[in-house]
Structures are given as C-alpha cells and as structure tokens.
C-alpha cells in the first residue's frame, strides 16, 4: 500500500520540474454553488497539465538500464507530453502512441519535446494495446498513464499542495479518466486527514469508474462518447482500483453540455483556458449536496486546439441564449426588413447575420422568410426581443442557429 513516506519522497522529486500552481479563489463559482470554491490550476502547469508529475516521478524511479531501453506510453495527449518532457530531462528515447483523434496541438507539443509519435486507434484503449505490443517487440519500458501506483503517487502530490495551502479544505473534486490522479489525490488526502471528502468526476459518456464501483470490479464500457477527450477511457486501472474503492467518497458524472457552459464561465470569469476534461471538477461543483464548505477543484489540464475552442465558445453562447436565431415571415415589399431591424435595435439586440429567403412560399408577394441571428445579453434579453417582435405584429419563431 502507498504510504505517507512514498508521497513525501514524490513531492521532493516532483518539485524539481513542476511550476507552482497556487489556489485561486473563485468569487463566481462560489456564488453559483453556495460553497467557497478554490481552483487548483494545473492547466498552467509545465506541459499544460498535471501529468508531468507522475511521469517524471515514475521515470526517476527507473534503473539506468530501463531508461536506456527507451520509454513508450499511450496517451490522448497530456500524459504524452509529460513522458516526453521527463524523458528529455533524463536524456532517453520516448515513443508515444496517441489516438488518431488527438487534437493537433497535443501531437505537435509532444513532438516538440523530442518524442516519436505514432497515431493509432480511435480511443485511448486502442492506442494502449498497440503501445504494449510495440513495447514487447522493441523491448521498451512501458510507462502507464494511470494504472501504476508509482505514477499515481506522483499525481497525488497535488493533494499535498492543496492541503498545505488550504488546511481546512472540506472537499476535493478530481477528474477521473483511468483513475491515476484520483488514486494519488484521494489516498494522500485520506492519509493526511480522513475527514476530507474526495469526489471523483467523470464525463457521463465515459463513466467507466462509476460503473466499475457499482459492479465491485473493473468494468469495460462498450464505447465512450464525450468531448472530454482526456478522460475518454473505456477501462479504468486494475492496479489502482482498490485505492479508488477505499478512498473515493463518491463519483459525480457531468454531461458534455455542462462542460461547454463551464468553459465559457472559466474564460469569462477567470480568463483561463481549461480543456474539457479539466473542467469536470468545476462543472460538478454545483452538484455537491452541501453548502458553506471549502471546495478545491482540480483543473487538470489546459491543452485545447483552437478549432475545438472556437466550437465550444460558439455552442456555449448559444446554450446561454447569448446568440440565437429567429425566423419571421414578411410580405415581400420595401420597408419590411427595415421595420424588423428597427424593432430589434430598439431592444438593444445586435444582428450578427441575416438570411432573406424569397422562396419559402410559392406566392412570393404573400410572404418571405427572414432569419436573423442575434447577439443578446442572455435569456431575459432574448425573451425581451421576442416579445417586442410579437408586439410589432410579427410571429417570431426560434430556429436552430448555424454560425
């Protein structure tokens, strides 16, 4: 079993390469949840995620012979960068197998640390199987991203930093993919103070640990479907599962739509980019059945490509009714478009896009369709604009927004 001495040793080693990620108190999320929310910004960590902790500590424990063989791992991106960075520090070869769906930014950054990248499979599990095959064929030393108590010990150093900075922490919310981070954080937290509640958070479309805990054994999901690519894992770790069973107090699942909204909230209120998996903790904070508690949310990573970021922002604005599209039918005569525009302008609505379709009906002089995509301040403002259009004699209809 992992001991306090193991974690103390890991803390000393990990501090050689990690950046200081001080807790950030969130006025916004505190007000939203009724608890005192503190953010642990591992998205600002070296390599953009907490994974450098476990990778560096694991590699530090290897023999010189094991390192000379070369290292190999499988990862959706963050562990890949951690291993590549640590291998570079120790001057050894690193081969990283990544799913073909891995965002380009993670692939390029992994290569940037000198690693050889192999793209294989659609999800992490496919990449992991291939990486283990290559390890056997080439004699590489395999560094598992989560199913290794030594790696988990390195990740658990986050708990030490949280508790040192916030001794009266009541809850720690930790994202779960395969379970390595949750193992390290929950085990050390319970060793220091058994009263601390450690809550795991999984995407609803990849809740392999929740299913495993329910069944009392490691369980493989048939498929995973989530925008949280860093936690899209079918099978949790078998070696670390007993630690999860013992030390995790509960698991909360989060829908993809909730992650989209959390991304928008994080950007607007904290000016930070946090990837979808890293947002699991803050997305779950409002689901805690407690009030007036000290809650630490681990933001596990911030590696997100610009195309994904753009899509998340657009969808978040639509979900928050900050952008919406309304359809109105008008007689095809001069002045009608100006009249609708004036009605919207009087309510401080900002027009983003107009589509004027004269072919919605056979009789064009009877009616044409005008689709207006608008920017609003939120749901109340959207309703205000819709009411004004109705009072103006129009029959507005909300339709799907396509930007």
Catalytic residues: 51, 300
* Pairing outcome for strands 350-357 and 250-254: unpaired
Phi, psi of 335 (to 5 degrees): 100, -20
Q: How far apart are CA 13 and CA 73, in angstroms?
A: 21
Nearest-Å Rg of the Cα atoms of the chain is 25
In this structure, the chain runs to a length of 403
Query: Are the beta carbons of 254 and 281 closer than 8 angstroms?
Result: no
Closest CA to 116 of 86, 143, 144, 93: 93
The SS3 of residue 145 is coil
The SS3 of residue 189 is helix
Query: Are the beta carbons of 72 and 131 closer than 8 angstroms?
Result: yes
- Cα angle: 192, vertex 193, 197; to 5 degrees: 125
Cβ partners under 8 Å of residue 190, min gap 6: 196, 198, 246, 247
Neighbour count for residue 195 (Cβ, 10 Å): 9
Query: Are the beta carbons of 228 and 283 closer than 8 angstroms?
Result: no
Burial class (CB in 10 A: 0-12, 13-18, 19+), 314: middle
Closest CA to 230 of 115, 353, 91, 81: 81
Give bridge partners of residue 260 from the DSSP assignment.
none
């Amino acid at each position: 079993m992992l001991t306090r001495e193991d974690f103390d040793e890991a803390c000393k080693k990990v501090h050689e390469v990690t950046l200081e990620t001080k807790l950030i108190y969130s006025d916004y999320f505190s007000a939203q949840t009724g608890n005192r929310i503190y953010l642990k910004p591992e998205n600002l960590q070296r390599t953009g995620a907490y994974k450098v902790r476990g990778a560096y500590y694991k590699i530090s424990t290897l023999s010189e012979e094991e390192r000379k063989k070369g290292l190999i791992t499988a990862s959706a991106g963050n562990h890949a960068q951690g291993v590549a960075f640590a291998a570079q520090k120790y001057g050894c070869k690193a081969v990283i197998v990544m799913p073909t769906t891995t965002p380009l930014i993670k692939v390029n950054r992994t290569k940037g640390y000198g690693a050889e990248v192999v793209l294989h499979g659609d999800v992490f599990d496919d990449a992991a199987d291939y990486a283990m095959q290559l390890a056997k064929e080439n004699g590489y030393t395999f560094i598992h991203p989560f199913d290794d108590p030594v790696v988990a010990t390195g990740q658990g150093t986050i708990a030490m930093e949280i508790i040192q900075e916030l001794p009266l922490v009541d809850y720690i919310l930790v994202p779960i993919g395969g379970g390595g981070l949750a193992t390290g954080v929950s085990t050390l937290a319970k060793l220091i103070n058994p009263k601390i509640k450690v809550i795991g958070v999984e995407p609803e479309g990849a809740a392999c640990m929740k299913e495993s805990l329910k069944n009392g054994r490691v369980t493989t999901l048939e498929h995973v479907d989530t925008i949280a690519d860093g936690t899209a894992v079918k099978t949790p770790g078998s070696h670390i599962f007993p630690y999860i069973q013992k030390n995790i107090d509960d698991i909360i699942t989060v829908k993809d739509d909730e992650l989209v909204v959390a991304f928008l909230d994080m950007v607007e209120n904290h000016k930070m980019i946090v990837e979808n998996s890293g947002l699991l903790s803050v997305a779950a904070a409002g689901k805690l059945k407690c009030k007036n508690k000290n809650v630490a949310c681990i933001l596990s990573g911030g590696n997100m490509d610009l195309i994904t970021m753009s899509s998340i922002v657009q969808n978040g604005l639509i979900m928050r009714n900050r952008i919406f599209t309304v359809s109105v039918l008008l007689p095809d005569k001069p002045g009608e478009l100006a009249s609708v525009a004036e009605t919207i302008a009087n309510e401080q609505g900002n027009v983003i896009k107009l589509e004027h379709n004269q072919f919605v009906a056979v009789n064009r002089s009877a009616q044409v369709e005008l689709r207006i995509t608008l920017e609003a301040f939120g749901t109340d403002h959207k309703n205000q604009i819709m009411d004004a259009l109705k009072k103006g004699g129009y029959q507005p209809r909300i339709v799907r927004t396509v930007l």
